Amino acid sequence: MRRKQALSIFLVIVMLLCGCAPGKDTADGGQRQQIIIWAWDETFNIKAARMAAEEYKKINENVEVIIETKEREEILTDTKMILSSKVYENLPDVIMIEDYDVQDVLESYESEFVELTELVDYSKYVDFKTRLCSKDGRGYGIPFDCGTAALFYRIDILEQAGYSEEDMMNLTWDRYIEIGKDVYEKTGIPMLTLDPTDLPLVRLIMQSTGSWYVKEDGTTAYIEDNEALRQALAIYQELLESNVGMSVNGWNEFISAFQQGEVASVLSGGWIISSIMEAEDQAGLWRIAPIPLVEENESAVEASNVGGSAWYVLKNSKNSEVATEFMITMFSENTEFTDALISEIGIVPSLKNPKILSNYEAEEAFFGGQQATKILTDMADEIPVVNYGSKTYEIEDILESEFQNVLVDGRMEECLKRVQVKAEAVARE
């Protein structure tokens, strides 16, 4: 009730201040209002937005939702350019922002987003998602998916090399690499893809130990003395140099590799399920297990996060008030819709209590009858909470560039020293 009252007051204030945005006349004499959404990933985020648009027609047929596909970087660049120039007529109503980018955006443009503190019940979401969507105790995003990381693998390929599902449980990185070498020798198939110009696996490994590119304050670069980062890079290098990892360039090659059966496993966030399941001929051949453990690190656990995102409404867009109602109705309050997203795209919901969803414990035939959502959601409780700060990708760009030298000369310590100096300058910006 408090949410409804707060939302009503919000809508009245916005309409009084801004006036109702013009819309197209409908057959019954009303006005059709358009909501424009920017997001990425056709099989996951875009599909979810389209499903929400179709479902919302049953509630309000006078709202037309237009979903535009843009890459993550394009959304950030275009949105920042519009907000900086204040040419609001080109502004979308809703954008998706990856969790790594949120604090950077809010640091510069907090006043440009609709505050949702009193409109969304943040207490029902897992703490680390609520924290990421907020600034100084004020909520701005509607949590969407948890990027709970897992080891997704092809049981048929592993069985060809003599391994079972039991063998893929409770792995250390040393054991994973050992199995990978054996699988490659017996089948000619690498274990996973690696892109030296993109390091999500390094992030996955670091967060599993409770560490990040910055210290807990979010602003102090933590590179040179970061043992977890050193361990992650050493694992990455061994994977790349031992035929366990197959080098790819970019998102499309990454997706194509596992969809075409060119690798035996994928280490990624739960959002990758929708892309895995696109290869319908592989139904029943995939399984899910926890990520390998960094055995040498006392803080390490078999749980981590990769990516994850939330929805944000732009305050000065043409139809921000209508967009706010749409997003809250579909993505915050509609548990039946969230339930549908589990079966349709394999979402790992950001809820503290996912048991309220009937599909939470559903068995997924594509994964051999495993309870895919339950497995991933249960692992989410173990993910170490870290402060991403606001410069994750800027620091990682520096690391990627310098790490190329390590692959040639092996001088890891010198690399980390150079990255530390450059990261300190970026973190202070």
List pLDDT tens digits, range 295-353. Answer: 999 999 999 999 999 999 999 999 999 999 999 999 999 999 999 999 999 999 999 99
Determine the Cα–Cα distance for residues 138 and 349; give it in Å rounded to an integer. 22
Block residue for tokens 């819309």? 23
d(Cα 330, Cα 339) in Å, to the nearest integer?
11
- Domain 2-146+307-356: homologous superfamily in CATH: Periplasmic binding protein-like II (3.40.190.10)
**What fold does the segment set 149-306+365-428 form as a domain?**
D-Maltodextrin-Binding Protein; domain 2 (3.40.190)
Taking residue 207's Cβ as centre, other Cβ atoms within 10 Å add up to 24
Q: The whole model's pTM is what? A: 0.89
Domain coordinates in residue numbering, the chain: 2-146+307-356, 149-306+365-428
Q: Which two tokens stand for residue 304?
A: 């981590």
**How buried is 124 (Cβ within 10 angstroms: 0-12 exposed, 13-18 middle, 19+ buried)?**
middle
Q: Tell me how far CA of residue 306 lies from CA of 18, 84, 149, 379, in angstroms.
A: 39, 29, 6, 13
Tokens representing 307 are 């990516």
Asked whether the beta carbons of 259 and 278 are under 8 A apart, the reply is yes
d(CA 117, CA 136): 11
Each residue's pLDDT tens digit, 36-47: 999 999 999 999
CB 237 within 8 A of CB 173: no
Pairing of the two strands 94-98 and 31-39:
parallel
The pLDDT of 126-142, averaged and rounded, is 93
Tokens 């048929």 belong to 156
CA distances (Å), origin 243, targets 121, 164, 237? 48, 21, 11
Longest dimension (CA), the chain: 71
Summarised one tens digit per residue, pLDDT across range 70-111 is 999 999 999 999 999 999 999 999 999 999 999 999 999 999
Q: How many degrees, rounded to 5, is the angle at CA 216 between CA 228 and CA 140?
A: 120
With b meaning 16 or more CB within 10 Å and e meaning fewer, what string describes 337-375? Answer: bbbbbbebbbbbbbbbebeebebbeeebebbbebbbbbb
pLDDT tens for 207-224 read 999 999 999 999 999 999
Strand partners, 33: 63
Distance of CA 412 to the CA centre of its chain: 29
* Domain pair 2-146+307-356 / 149-306+365-428, same fold: yes
